[in-house]
Amino acid sequence: MSTAVTVSVVGVSYAAFNPDKAEKHAREVASRATCRTVDAAIVAYLALHDEAPRRIDDLTGFVDGDISAYRIVDGLAAGPGCQSHAQR
């Protein structure tokens, strides 16, 4: 009896779980986190060099990973997961 109940619960849980939606959400969260990381790297660069970075390549030593999808606009990170300047 307990085996049948366990299998039913697992089947219902899997049916309620939408893997595509979960993956999309995970990617959005990761993008926002990466945008904050790029913003933090901009601040670190500024503190170390007494001037803002001009190109995203200036931040390579401050961030692990690929940030090539980002750019610097008005001293802030712009790219996937970043809020537009109008929203800030």
User: What is the pLDDT, as a whole number, of residue 23?
Assistant: 86
Q: Mark the ranges of the chain whose per-residue pLDDT is less than 70.
A: 1-16, 84-88
For residue range 29-51, list pLDDT tens digits in order: 777 778 999 999 999 999 999 99
Buried/exposed code over 67-84 (b: 16+ C-beta within 10 A; e: otherwise):
beebebeeebbbbebbee
- 2 contact partners, CB below 8 Å, separation of at least 6: none
HSE-CB at 29 with a 13 A cutoff on CA atoms is 6
- What CA–CA distance (Å, rounded) separates 3 from 82? 47
pTM recorded for the entire structure:
0.66
- What CA–CA distance (Å, rounded) separates 62 from 17? 37
